[in-house]
Structure 1
Amino acid sequence: MPCPWQTARKLTPVDTTVADPLVGRLLDGRYRVESRIARGGMAAVYLALDIRLDRTVALKVMHRSLAEDPDFVRRFIGEAKSVASLSHPNVVHVFDQGTDGDHVYLSMEYVPGRTLRDVLRERERLPAREALEIMIPVLAALGAAHQAGMVHRDVKPENVLLTDDGRVKVVDFGLARAIEAGNQTRTGVMIGTIAYMSPEQVTAGVADARSDVYAAGVMLFELLTGHQPYQGDNPMSVAYRHVHDRVPPPSSLVRSSPPLLDTLVRSATDRDPNHRPADATALLVAAVDAHRMLPRDMGPQRPPTGSAAGAPLAAHQMGAPPAHPTLIHSATEMLTAPALAPPPEAGPKVAGFRPNWFIVALAVVMIAAIAGTGWWFSEGRYSKVPDLLGMKTSVAKLEAEKQGFSVKIGQAENDDKLAEGKVLRTDPESGREVVNGASITLIPSAGPVKISVPNVVNLSEADARAKISDAGLSTGAVSRVPSDTVQRGLVLRTSPQVGTKVTKSKRVELVLSAGQLMPDVSEMQCDQAEAFLRQKGYNPTVVQQVDNAQPGTVIAQSPAARAEVTAGQAVQLTCSKGPNTGFRWPWENPDNVQPGQTLVAIPDVRFKNVADAMRELRAAGFRVRVRKIAGAGAVVAENPLGQAPAGTRITIWH
């Protein structure tokens, strides 16, 4: 069976000698991967069974380099949602999109058959009628997408599938946009797509429905001739020719190609997008007309040019509507009626002959009507609404007014992708033909919808998550910090703060209370520790114990430091009485002071700012150790106090 899939990125048939780790795996808990169909530079395609719906699907799995780009993944998901809403018999349906670890995938309709590229490799080129019979459903699919506001951006034979039962399907809508937006452009991608890229895509990187029309025209040229219009040693040389050359008529390569299709290709591939059909639907109408007028037998002889039947079609292909056939027929009859025929040069003048002035006048009026109708529908009376999307509103207004339009600014609308103040859409839409000087309404983007962070302070984590979700936001990281005022497990604060307006994509982080934790007052002077704890709402008691530690300092506490406690809880402090031997600290006994040492008064820095306290102690010649007690902002305790030799370490608590 021929390879059923080729993707937009030159997928190649699978090499069955290479093991694929995805084959046999249940992806996302739903899709059992059965075999790899093809692999290319951007994705691999697998045949899989949707075990939930018991149907065969094609899974397109993006390569890891794309899946690691968060911007690509975000845009890929958005594009997949848009394409999934597009229902048309000539579009490969997108069923689902998802991620499984580092695998980003699309679940699509499985279409057994071949690509149009496979057909061209086999047959080189197609007869005119058969080429149009393939292009017509392709244009119908593109036209449906254009009507829905989508642009394919990568129309080429690799993205056209021909099923075993003769149907034509277009694949890969939106993938090119996601790849371009994710900064994933590669040399291989440019080589694969540059042959069908419109001049405006090359020069400005912008694409709209008319860019798809250009690519469709190039593809029709290739179907008719077996060659792409431009060849070059590198992508840049091909791109240059797209911008500066005109696609030649197919008949210049294949003499049997009819003039009708020369006109169709010339109209679709005009370098100026304003001179192309406005979208694929407009080109579809012209293609259907051309197919209807092609003779059944397209032998080697070319149809005569300039025929009465061909003239209206050529005008239509170039964008001007044909004159009404009834008017043409009536005017021709009148101008060739016997009453208006000139008399023979020889022979007697017929007695009593008078010209039928009524018929003459009527003929003149009808000719004028035809001319007037042609002018009324001609391009001279109408202009196309310029493409202003994405411009700053003020710049777009000036540009439209410069082209002669009257401009109004409409009510701004929210959009998740477009920044505030830029043109989101126009009414009428860009590319639409309107009377010269018509009014255009610019609808600016108000940027993404912003939501106020709800007040979830003092709520449990579960209740806070529910309230944040109800507001249209999602919860981010959760952390815990001690608190003397908020019960354990309740929300202390959020980040961003309550009331801050954020976009839907912003996650709200929760900071929960870890409850009251017992402060660490070890080594603090007992009287200071007792006063501090009473201030914090505890009920301390003090016991004395003989110990080699400095007399009057805390050597133990119960509950232990950082244990979870409640307000009013009893706390026992064990304080040192000093050793039984009458031990005294060196600075408490002048006889024990080392030679050259002098006692220095220790500054009392309690209740001062920590930085100021450290600066004052160091200025007095002491070393400083700082210990933090949760909830205290200034110095609450100091040890030792009094006097000590210079260089002694002083501990402060804050």
Structure 2
Amino acid sequence: MGPCQWQNARKLSGVDTTTADPLVGRLLDGRYRIESRIARGGMATVYLALDIRLDRTVALKVMHRSLAEDPAFVRRFIGEAKSVASLSHPNVVHVFDQGTDNDVVYLSMEYVPGRTLRDILRDRGRLPAREALELMIPVLAALGAAHRAGLVHRDVKPENVLMTDDGRVKVVDFGLARAIEATNQTRTGVMIGTIGYMAPEQVTTGAADVRSDVYAAGIMLFELVTGQQPYDGETPMSVAYRHVHDTVPTPSSVAPEVPPLVDTLVAHATAREPQDRPADATAMLVAAVDAHRMLPRTTTPPGTGPMLPGTNPTTVYAHPAGGPVSGARSMPQPAPAHTMIQPRTPAEEPRRRGFRPNGFLVALAAVMVVAVGLTGWYFAQPELVTVPDLIGKNVAEAEKTIAGRGLLMRQADGKHDEKVAEGLVLSSDPAADAELEKGSTVTLVLSLGPERIVVPDVSGRSSNEARAAIAKAGLTVGAVKRLPNQQVERDKVIRTSPQVGEKVRKSAKINIFVSAGLVMPDVGGMPKDEAAGFLGGQGFQVQVNEVDDDAEPCTVIAQSPKAKSEVDKGVPVMITVARCQTDWWQWFRGDNEARDDQQFSVVPGVIGKNINDAKPELEALGFKVRVNRLSNGGVVQFQRPLPNSERPPGSVVFLWQ
């Protein structure tokens, strides 16, 4: 229920609705003193309040407790209120403020005394086509401004269109339906109240975009010219079914005097498939203006109820040739002249039948009055100016350009952008080339430049803690890798890549390196003494087990725990070695394969050399080289065969780095 319905609500109820309301008289949020209750609807109660900070009267819309207790609704409600507050348009009820006070969630809005379009339809019934379009044009202009700003109303209906006492049209409740969608509550009452204007896609999928608003506007135009909605049914579901499966009938099938131009406009706006409708409310506005321009002016509207607020009855004057001369409803008209017509008796007939000055003077007066009315209407029209293209300009230049067009500037919260430098105009509302009344406000959004986020320090934290901290900073966790590290506790973060303190783009991937603690070295094939000495130096308790095996004597053939497994410092380690034979030379040459002419080369000692130097040196002597990694260093720690051993060319030399 809009903030201007309080007068009618009071009249209908016949009682004072404020006496038992606990909020009346309360100072809300330390700023808004609630004076009286205006009206109560299905989702909110509207109060008349005084903003004591700015000393102005406002309409305060307080959400019902069932909605205010829903965190999802409150979160969506606050976001939508911020978006709607940035929407500046003469046909939109302005949202001044939004807030919460304990269990009270409210909107502070412009107070608009007057009536809703529903009240007018209830009083007058259907409207003539031309007058209906004159109501729809400002509604579509308001919706078009919202669509350009990325807002969808979602609940376009006569109850949300206000008529001020001076005849202005205002649209209310932008974004409230979207906030309601965030709740998990059953809202049957809301469905019943709005199902008559829901587009097919809203019924079937719950999705709504700008074309859903266009559909609802088409239904509203149908109702304005026919006095009824296109579908009725015993239940909301039956109405919803017809929206999905039926084609909206032409208004002229209900009210034959509706012109074909309006039939076409309604049919286009209410097409069942969204892609067959006007692209947005601005596109429908263009079509409505064209239809209004081509409609003939009429002076005998079908409705006989009171006129719209702020308008005057159309005056009809006698034409010298007998035809009617009618004034346009949208033009200011002089007060109607009351003509008294009395029958003449034969005795009163004038004796002269030539020149009739009375008829001539009446016709001349009619022409003069119409001319005066047209002149007044022309000069009363607001001066329109075009919004300049301000994208990429700095604030000072943009403000100067706007002021030069006779417009005002408002600066909204800035946004980050990867392409537009900080301090330059990122967007404007309305956008460039839109037409505004002189003196209107253009809202500018300035660029905050590229958004960069500092990589947080997560070293020493667990993997899950690091993930949470990185996500909280607005970044994304990339790969998680485990590395041997005796200095950092196992399962704790060693470092990140990019490193802590670096500035990266929002949502950039951050790789995490987690400590695997002590990793069991691979000593397979290493001489027994070297393997035992190395493992002991790493803090392991080493046990050696010798077994008979065909492998090279005194070399490791197995180990427990297995190589590369994660272990704790000081854990017992068992290494199994081939038994150390006394006749090593016999093992090497073989009982039946000894050859006196066998050539041998001396294996040089490469312990302490860089692996990149040792390997080529051995390969140059004809040996094959296998490298095993014990640490991240690049220096040879052990070798087999031992330095100065003799081996035939092609033998394998093992290096541990």
Q: TM-score, normalised by structure 1?
A: 0.45
Q: Taking CA–CA contacts closer than 8 Å with sequence separation of 6 or more, which of the two structures ends up with the larger relative contact order?
A: 2
Q: TM-score, normalised by structure 2?
A: 0.45
